[in-house]
Structure 1
């Protein structure tokens, strides 16, 4: 079973990568971009039947820094589990 974990900084946490990308886009002449937040995507291939509780534990213990980041779990069949 394939699962995608999306990790991003919590609102209000400074995002220097996002600022750098935003500045670069402006420098390239792209107008209308008001803000950029950079995150990461992790794809896992897990055993069939791996529950969302197990996936949440993976995120909270290793994949995301819960102090400054949020995460979302997406099953690649389209279901999305709340974080």
Structure 2
């Protein structure tokens, strides 16, 4: 089985209250030097067999039409995972 990751982020001009809350909490927890946090979404799509260019094209189309809201979000990445990443994404022990 293969897997494809789709990462979606809010557009830069869209307010990100969750990211702001995390950014405010980090220094209070001792994490210094982080100046901004943006929250996003990650989808892992599993396909039968190896990931092909056709699978990637289909995932890009799904990302643009279903997985993201193009008014407020950008699809920032669509890529195949290698075998070790597939196990990790599925929650299996490494």
Indicate the TM-score class for this superposition, using the shorter chain for normalisation.
0.7 to 0.9
TM-score (norm 2): 0.72
* Greater fraction helix: 2
Partner residue in 2 for 1:81: none
Structure 1 gap segments, 5+ residues each: 78-83
Q: Deviations over 1:4-47 (max 9, x none)?
A: 11111111211111000011112213221100011121101024
Alpha-carbon RMSD across the aligned residues, in angstroms, is 1.5
Structure 2 gap segments, 5+ residues each: 83-94
Partner residue in 1 for 2:86: none
Aligned ranges 1:1-83 → 2 under 5 Å: 1-48=2-49, 49=52, 50-71=54-75, 72-77=77-82
Give 4+ residue runs of structure 1 displaced > 2 Å after superposition.
47-53
Q: How many pairs are equivalent? A: 77
